[in-house]
Each structure stands twice: as C-alpha cells, then as structure tokens.
Amino acid sequence: MNENEANKSDELIKIKIAHLIKFAQNFQGIEVHVLISGKFVKMNYGSEQFVDILKKLQEKKLEEVYINQVDCKRIMAEIQQIVSSKTSTDQIKMQSSENSIEILKAFITQMGITKEAIDLLNSINKNSLGILQQSPNLMEWIKRFKTSCSEEFLKSILTSYLACRIIDQFPWGSQPIKEKTCLASMLCDINLSKDDFAALNDYEENGTPLSDKIKQHSAEIIKLLSIRKDIVSSETLVIIEQHHERPDGSGFPFGIQGPRFNQLSSIFIVSQQFIHHLVRCNFDYQQRRAILERVYEVYRGKNFDKAMGALVSVVNK
C-alpha cells in the first residue's frame, strides 16, 4: 500500500465493499483507498485480483473503502448504459438498477445531488416501469423479481407505478407531473439504510418509536436537494417533505395536518401506504380491499379522499 500525503477526504466517496464487488466488472482497476489511523491509504493491487483484495479486506472486518468522485461518476455513466441498453436482459437491468441505487445513495449523501444522479434515477425508474408495463400483470412482475431484488427497491418502483396510475385518473394528470412524482419515489429514502427500513416497517406495523435520525430523514433530504432547485422541482420536494406525514398530525418530521397536504402528496402517500401493506401481506393481491380499508382508516380528508377514490378505481380495475 502507498500512503497518500494529501488529505483526500473532499474527493473521496465512502462506499461499501459489498457494492464494489457487485459491480466488480465496472469498478475493476479503479483507485481504492482505505482509512487507516485517520489517513487515506491507496491500495496497491500488485499481481492480485481486484475482487480478491476486496474480499481480503472484508475478511479483516472492513466494510467500507473510499473511491474517487470522478470514478463514481464514470460508473454512474456505465450503469446508465446498462439500464438503458436494448441488449441487457430484464434481470440484469433490474439487478444493476438496484445495486446502483446503493452507489447513488453513497454519492448523493456525500457529494450532493447532481444532474447525472437525477438522470440515472429517472432512467432506473423509467426502465423498471417499462419492464413492469410489458409484464402480463403486476403480480407476474413481482414474482419475477421478488427474490432477486430488495423489498425497498421493489416498493419504490411499485409506488411510482401506482401513483402514476392514480394521477391518470385526474384531469390535470400529465407526463411531467408523473415524472416528478416518480423522482420523489426514487429520492425520498435515499439516506436510509437496510436497518432504517426495518425500523420504519416496525413503526408502520406496530407503532414502535423511531430514532431521531429516521424521523428527520425527509427533512435532511430536503436540505440536500433544495440547493439544486434548478434540477429538482418544487412538486418533488413537497412530496418528499410530506411522505411520512399523516392528516391527523401524528406523522413526522413536522406533524403537519390535513389542509396542508396537496393533492399530489396525498396521491403519493396513499400509493406508498397501499404498497407497504401489499408487501407486508406477501403481495397477496386478494387482500386489496382489506388494505384499502386499512389505508383509509388513517388517510382521510379533502385531498386524501380524492386520492383514495382514485386508488379504489385503479385497484378495482
């Protein structure tokens, strides 16, 4: 290993070794640094294989390494090609998309939002929805990817899909509005870990109290995105801000009440809630009526009633 003299913390992105290994083909040969006693040390591969070195680090209980920002951008461009390529199989597109979300999480939370990151998120959403729309039905798509993709990833795509179908029920619905809503679905939990998702599920199911970090995650994302209003729309920001709020004021982070929810946020929230319950009952679509009732118990009021009415129409079609 060669020690770096300069402190490179401004140019380096912390990334989980597991994610580098998943994308070993793309990451092959890039500069990898480890943090030892507060100093970044560049790995020297010598004659060893990239993946073998990373696995050795994992054996030493190291979970994260650092890569150059410029390499991360290059990888994002490569992933963009994979998910948009006509020659990639659906499985490869979906798995690459899911893995790349993890890389995007690291990039966005450490470097802030960029046009490239937004473009990649839009591509991932568009291509995943494209695969879903070409499937004979929703359940077939779920069956195909249930075991190969994470629950969180499937939930974000399914929420986009359902929200778009609900938006189509409204006269003001348009493609740009749907795209802004889908982007909210891709970004709203970008700063959460697997453990955070488990805690959120426990909160939704059993009312288990949440940590301050989770309670503030939507406010933190807004802070991160608001400085780039040129690339993230106000509609997307409002949805993200309100996605864990409840009309009775018991939600978080602000505890806002009924009249403050706009129509688009209400649509997004009931979509997300419907998908949450559908996942919890192991995608048993036969339970859709019980799920609708459960969602309606909490999400009522002017704009929520309209969103629920449209959701019922979509689900019963």
Q: Which stretch binds Fe ion (CB under 5 A): 16-24, 173-181, 185-193, 261-269?
A: 185-193
What are the CA-CA distances from residue 140 to residues 131, 158, 182, 277 (Å)? 11, 13, 21, 18
Q: Closest CB to Fe ion among 144 and 260?
A: 260
Q: What is the three-class DSSP state of 136?
A: coil
Q: Residues touching Fe ion: how many (CB under 5 A)? A: 1
Q: Closest CB to Fe ion among 71 and 189?
A: 189
Q: Closest CB to Fe ion among 94 and 187?
A: 187
Sign of the Cα torsion 109, 112, 116, 117 reads: positive
Q: Closest CB to Fe ion among 102 and 189?
A: 189
Residue nearest to Fe ion (CB): 189
Residue 34 has φ and ψ, to the nearest 5°, of -120, 150
The contact pattern for Fe ion, residues 279-308, with x = CB under 5 A and - = no contact, is ------------------------------
Residue 107 has φ and ψ, to the nearest 5°, of -65, -50
What torsion, rounded to 10 degrees, do the Cα atoms 72, 78, 84, 88 define?
-130
Task: Please state the separation of Cα 11 from the chain's center in Å.
Answer: 24
Interface residue with Fe ion, options 71, 98, 179, 189 (CB under 5 A): 189
Q: Which of 161, 137, 180 is nearest to 271 (CA)?
A: 161
Site for Fe ion in 153-172 (CB under 5 A): none
Q: Closest CB to Fe ion among 141 and 252?
A: 252
Q: Which stretch binds Fe ion (CB under 5 A): 113-121, 135-143, 164-172, 186-194?
A: 186-194
Q: Which stretch binds Fe ion (CB under 5 A): 38-46, 82-90, 189-197, 276-284?
A: 189-197
What are the CA-CA distances from residue 202 to residues 1, 53, 194 (Å)? 44, 37, 13
The answer to whether residue 245 forms part of the interface with Fe ion (CB under 5 A) is: no
What are the CA-CA distances from residue 286 to residues 29, 143, 158, 282 (Å)? 50, 15, 17, 11
Q: Closest CB to Fe ion among 80 and 218?
A: 218
* Distance of closest approach, residue 25 Cβ to Fe ion, in angstroms: 32
* Distance of closest approach, residue 131 Cβ to Fe ion, in angstroms: 24
Q: Closest CB to Fe ion among 220 and 305?
A: 220
The Cα–Cα gap between 107 and 193 comes to 14
* Assigned token pair, 60: 């030493």
Q: In sequence order, which residues have a C-beta less than 8 Å from that of residue 180 and are 6 or more positions away?
A: 233, 235, 236, 239, 264
* Distance of closest approach, residue 196 Cβ to Fe ion, in angstroms: 9
Binding site for Fe ion (CB under 5 A): 189
